[in-house]
Amino acid sequence: MTVLSLDLGPRLSNQNLYRAHTGDTICLQRCPELKGIQINLTCTNPVGEEIVLRQDADRAYFTLSSGGPYRVTWHIVVNPLPLNWTSVSMVTILADPVLTSTNSGPSLTIDQIAAQSHLTKCCGEVQRWGDVFRVSVESGYNTIHLTPVQELGISKSSYSLHSHHKISSSLNLNSGGGYEEDLEMLSRHLQDIHNKTGLFFLTDVVWNHVSICNREILSHPESYYNLYNTPNLIPAYLIDRSIHEFGNAQDNITDVQDLSSFEIKLRNHLLGTAQTLEKLYKIDLNKVLDVKKSTEASLCESQLNKKDINDLIKALWLVNYKEPEYAGDIDVGILRKFLEQRGVTSEPDQNSKISAAICHFNDVEVPTIVDQILNKVISAVMGTVKYRFLDEHGPKLSFGNVPIVDRYFHVSDITFTEELALDIYRKEDAQRIKTCNGWTAGESVSDMNSTMAYTNREVVIWGDSVKLRYGDRREDSPWLWDYMTKYTCDMASLFHGFRIDNCHNTPLHVGEELLRAARHVQPQLYIVAELFTGSEERDCEIINRMGINSCIRELSQSHSPRHLGELIYHYGESKPCGSFIHNIPHGDVVHQPGDENIPLGDQTCTEDNTPQLSLGSSRPHAMLMDQTHDNPCPFDQHPLPNVLALSGLMCAAKCSIGSNRGYDELVPHHIHVVEEERLYQGWSQSDDEDLKPAKKALIKLHQRLEDKGYYETFVDQAREDVVIVTRHHPDTCSKVLVVVATSWSEDSSLTRNYTVSLPGENVKVLLETEILSPQTLPKHTNNKDYITGLSGVKIDVRENPLSSKMVTVSKPDEGNLDIDLLLTPGCVIAVEVEPPQSSKTALQYFNSYILCPEKFDKDLDKVFSTLDLLDLNYVLYRCNEEERVDGCGGVYHIPHHGNLTYAGIVGFLQVLETVTKNNDTGHPLCRNLCEGWWMADYTVNRLKKKNLKLGFFLEEIFFAVEAVPNYTRPKVFYKIISSVYSACLRQIRKLIPTMKTSVGNSWFVEQLVLTSVQLVGKVGDTGIPVLLQDKESVASLAAGLPHFSHGFMRCWGRDTFIALPGLLIKTGRLDVARDLVVGFARTLRYGLIPNLLSERGHRPRYNCRDAVWWWCRSVKLLYKHQPSILQESVYRLFYKDDSPVSPQTPFVCTVFDVITEVLQRHAAGITFREENAGRELDEHLLDPGFNMTAGVDPETGFIRGGSRHNCGTWMDKVGSSSQAGNKGIPATPRDGSAIELVAMGYQTVSWMAELFESGIGTTSVVNMKTGSTHKTVSYREWSEMIKENFEDKFWCSGGYYGNANGYYRDTLGSESGGDEKLRPNQTFAMVIAPELFKPSHMSEALKTIGTNLAGLVGMSTLSPEDADYQPYYDTGNHGNDYRTAHGFNYHQGPEWVWCMGFYLRAKLRDFQHLKKDNPDCMSDDEIGQYFATVLAPHRAMIASDPYRGLTELTNKGGQHCPNSCPTQAWSSGCLLEFLVELEQSEFSGS
């Protein structure tokens, strides 16, 4: 089974090629972004019919039943569409056809095709075709390519057809009937030859033109390009007519001086035409201004961005100049709209500016445009004249006997004098002027309504043909469409494949439709074409749209041995050596994850054990030819020995191959498609003194390489004149070396020695062939009736020789070979080499054990059964800093690539995922593996250092495969490492039940669960105090990697307890959660827990007011799963606030006691100055900032504290720029009562009241400070006080930002003035204490938040309407802007990911409220789709991020922020909390 990932936007397009082969089953699998999203998926087959897909939740399946393009389209049903999404995406899968014999003979895959081109007119009558084609059979070919079999036009060009519906009379079919009878007779002849010889047949299809003598089109003028239906050709016609008129009056050109004089005269002659063109191109000002202002006129973005009205007018003219009356096409409404948007509103002022601009265009721009055209025209004409009459390599025509240049237009049955009298603006006359077809390199002339190629004389014109016009749709030219559809279907009934003539100038929609019709007749139609676009992207688009299977590439046009090697590398190397691509006969599929639950490196299987393999993008498939039939003779560019060399290299390539009839017979001249009238010789007339025996042996070698499975290719420019193509067998690692000695220079004409040294044994010579004599071209005499080649050329061919004349083998040491080669000019040598015995043994072990899941995976699972989650953290992850702290030396460094993200398995797979996807065997990681097993040694030694059984197990595995050939090491290493990773996942699933979810977000849940394994580990001194005096260090939760990986920066009190509910409680890691809760409880001081720890908690910093409340929340959530947490013993580090650490006689209490103390201390009021205050503690904070306060407002019960001099909540940025003036100043103090602290205070006292009421605890009151006195307040009274005051104090009905949208204040009573700022903190309160909120207010607030703060992956930390809003965070900003210098805007607009989790949880509850009040407001599926859509960018982020996590924050609109921590604990934890809650809701989709 072959898997294709359905992606977003332009990632999959017609510029990527995806090849598979007939019979494949394609699995369409959603990418991470699209999981859970509703999409409409359709697929059409090569004939345009929609396929019924077999579908399940995230996959759809179909089978490639025939060759051609299968188009898969998916429409994302989401409204509105998220930023950067494309609503409709499409990808084409091109199925390679199989040429199937009708008589049960052998079939051909496209890489087995060996075709020979023939000019049909030179084959003679069909009765002699059997003899003619026997020459091809005896030369080894299995396919015949014929030029069109139709009647030719007056030029006798093989491609200028008199009629597409008439078979050539030269075939002498004797059918006794008309066209249909001729088709039937020709079919019988071709079938008879096929039955006797096994030959398959291709033919050219000519869609773009017809001979000028064709009379059928005269009654259908809409079917060809003329001046009436394509008026933008009028300038081209006027120039063409003027040049023809000029050329008829010129004297002979005999030298360069005549040429210069000719150019001057031509330029002067064209001045009159230039004046006519200027009149055509000028805009009629009066006509423009006479048009009433258009009320419908609208400006597109490109028009709006024009610099001024002059630029706009030129742009409009360039679009509309094609019509004969150009002025009427300049929309004055657009001009007026443009001016209005620039402040010019009165009509007189607009008219004045429009008049001035049009006059400028007419007087300045038009003469410039015309001058540029004439310069191009003159250059083109002079180039043609020079080539035709003077160039040494040109035809050197006689002046006066032929036109100086070919005409671009044809007028039937009139003289040139009569032509001059035609009125080109009158319909009848304009239709008589037919446009000739031609050829262009690069720019296509398929769109005649926009091209300037005819005007500029850039077309190599075919003066014997008329260019056909299909229009944009069948209705534009119905007769032509019917005419060509029948022709195409008739040819499909006769032939196994098409070569598309002039393909890149064929309108794409025409090619598509005609080939669909042809595939109805012949489902396994093979399509080949030459493309001259000059752009591989454009080639790919044409290939995909038409379903072209192979692009013709020609070796004889090479100009050096290195160029030859490059051609073979680019077109003949289907899969590189050591390829990650699966080893199948054809089609490109990559070893990639197929299971949605395994994002990295695992090839999985379906229930029926069918491997799932990902479809990879590939290069265009080639038909590599030593010579094509429409290019000059190879002897014009190559010495005689190179003719053999070119064929040798061609046959060494892994692709279709081909040649031209005459090449093997050494015909020393071009067999011209127009001028040649002689016949090919039959087998009975030919001899063997040419290339045929050698070509037969070479094609036989090509077939052997394909049949025996040598699918991988390596091209080596061994030295300047020697190219070695090595074909590898991916399973056995045997190889065939095809050594070709080219012959370009004088040195290469000599016999020389060359030695190939390589590992191996048992060398077998498969083929030796060389030209014995002569080395230069012998004299040749043309036969007047038959096309004949050189005589007297001796070519020696030795297949499987018992004794080699050119190869000597020696063994310098065990397992290595020296192959000494005696190279003669043009020779080809093929030798087969088996790998050494040690490599065979290693490969046998790899194939029979590593690739056998029943054995290898079973043994891995036994090893992994001994590992816990902390072991798996070490096996999978650990960033560079974590490794170094523990003395492990850091992560692995790959030369020319850099450090891996992790020392564990994921570090390697993160790179290998991209390497395998692109089949990039040249990547530095692959090169490093090929040079040595250092990655394996690193992995084994690292695991053994921790005494993990896995290390010793892998040591045995890598030792067993150590001797595999070095180029296979990357895929061997990849398979082993990916299997280890899969075993890790299986063990994690056993240890973390959350991994076993089965609803729409299960993949994403699993990735977030893995971040729990990623971020929780034992790392050096993290500052967390041990729980007991004799207990080892506890595991710690890193705030993020790699920024917060070790030391006091690893564990933040706030970050730990924001992330803990998601990463530890929701994942069932309750023991780690308990240890962290108790560990931080030990550090309680002043009624707070610290934000930063050091020295095992002995020097903590108590500079935050919120960490203790996040801790209380975590205790409450943990209590639901582990009630005993409240009675856990806490060995306190500080007996009193001002006492030092007392480890010897610790004060012991319980977690419940700690919560009680927290509430009492806040009720009584907290005031202290940070210990060791000053620059050593915080180099930026001003002195007043070290004074800390916290407490309770006795009137409202709200938690409050802080000052404008410090930051007590998560928005804790303190400025550090003296230059900008923000040093020491808190950016976001949030002093007073912060909304989330009020909610967490309410949650805690309410819970404590419930506990007391259920019989837990001995007290339920606090002594609350009220001014200078205290009062006794119960927990229940306290909670009710908060609830009664919350809505009244925090609800803001709008107006602060100049609108009426309501939301909740961020703080209350802040001396820094931030109370009414719109921030996301209110969503934390909505989730933590929803009972505080009025449901209608919460709904309104969430709408306000969604509109103003919701970003792509995070929540903006401040409303964009706020004056302080600055959404781009940059710590390296050393400017003078107070708001942004040194990243002062950390929490003033950047979008934080963790906040999105709380926002979505609040939205979930809001939806539940809405559904309760109005069940029909939204369907459950619509709500589920909403959440799936919002989470799509998060899924994409975690799938592509090198650290495999969710980032800390992004800049505006989800833009990457370089200063953000790549994987942040609370980002993952809060999203995981939401997902688990969503899966338990009615909107989960389960």
Catalytic residue among 21, 504, 728, 1387: 504
Collapse the DSSP code of 1190 into the 3-class scheme (helix H, G, I; strand E, B; otherwise coil) and give the result: strand
Give the Å distances, CA to CA, from 83 to 667, 673, 833, 1344, 1452. Answer: 63, 55, 56, 19, 12
CB distance 1061 to 1042 below 8 Å: no
**What are the E-state strand segments in 1324-1441?**
1355-1356, 1391-1392
1267 sits in the region (left: phi over 0; alpha: psi -120 to 50; else beta) called: left
**What are the E-state strand segments in 1220-1285?**
1233-1234, 1261-1266, 1269-1274
Instruction: List phi, psi (to 5°) of 1206.
Output: -145, 170
Instruction: List phi, psi (to 5°) of 985.
Output: -65, -40
Q: Tokens 């498609």 correspond to what residue? A: 673
- 781-787: long-range pairs with CB below 8 Å, 24+: 782/669, 783/678, 784/678, 785/678, 785/679, 786/678, 786/679, 786/680, 786/681, 786/685, 787/122, 787/662, 787/665, 787/667, 787/671, 787/676, 787/678, 787/679, 787/680, 787/681
Respond yes or no: is residue 472 known to be catalytic: no
Distance spanning both ends of the chain, measured CA to CA? 27
986 sits in the region (left: phi over 0; alpha: psi -120 to 50; else beta) called: alpha
CA dihedral 684, 688, 693, 696 (to 10 degrees): -20
The tokens describing 1351, both together, are 């970003």
Nearest to 236 by CA among 432, 405, 373, 441: 373
Distance CA 337, CA 119 (A): 60
- Identify any residues that bridge with 679 across adjacent strands, giving them in sequence order: 786
Helix H or strand E encompassing 180: helix 179-197
In Å, the largest CA–CA distance within the chain is: 127
Catalytic residue among 630, 664, 1178, 1193: 630
State the helix-helix crossing angle for 1321-1328 and 1235-1253, rounded to 10 degrees.
Answer: 10
Distance CA 1092, CA 1047 (A): 10
In terms of Cβ atoms closer than 10 Å to its own Cβ (0-12, 13-18, 19+), residue 794 is exposed
Collapse the DSSP code of 1203 into the 3-class scheme (helix H, G, I; strand E, B; otherwise coil) and give the result: coil
Nearest to 560 by CA among 756, 742, 348: 742
Catalytic residue among 501, 539, 588, 1306: 501
Respond yes or no: is residue 1180 known to be catalytic: no
Query: CA quadruple 1100, 1104, 1105, 1106: dihedral positive or negative?
Result: negative
Q: Which residues contact 1147 (CB under 8 A, 6 or more apart)?
A: 1131, 1132, 1135
HEC secondary structure over 31-95: CHHHCCCCEEEEEECCCCCECCCEECCCEEEEECCCCEEEEEEEEECCCCCCCCCCCEEEEEEEE
The tokens describing 1396, both together, are 């999105």
Nearest to 525 by CA among 25, 47, 19, 144: 47
Respond yes or no: is residue 501 known to be catalytic: yes
Instruction: List phi, psi (to 5°) of 653.
Output: -80, 150
Give the Å distances, CA to CA, from 1358 to 840, 1212, 1348. Answer: 65, 14, 8
CB distance 136 to 682 below 8 Å: no
**Would you list the DSSP string of 884-945?**
HHTTS--S-EETTTEE-S-SSHHHHHHHHHHHHHTT-TTSHHHHHHHH-SHHHHHHHHHHHH
Catalytic residues: 501, 504, 630
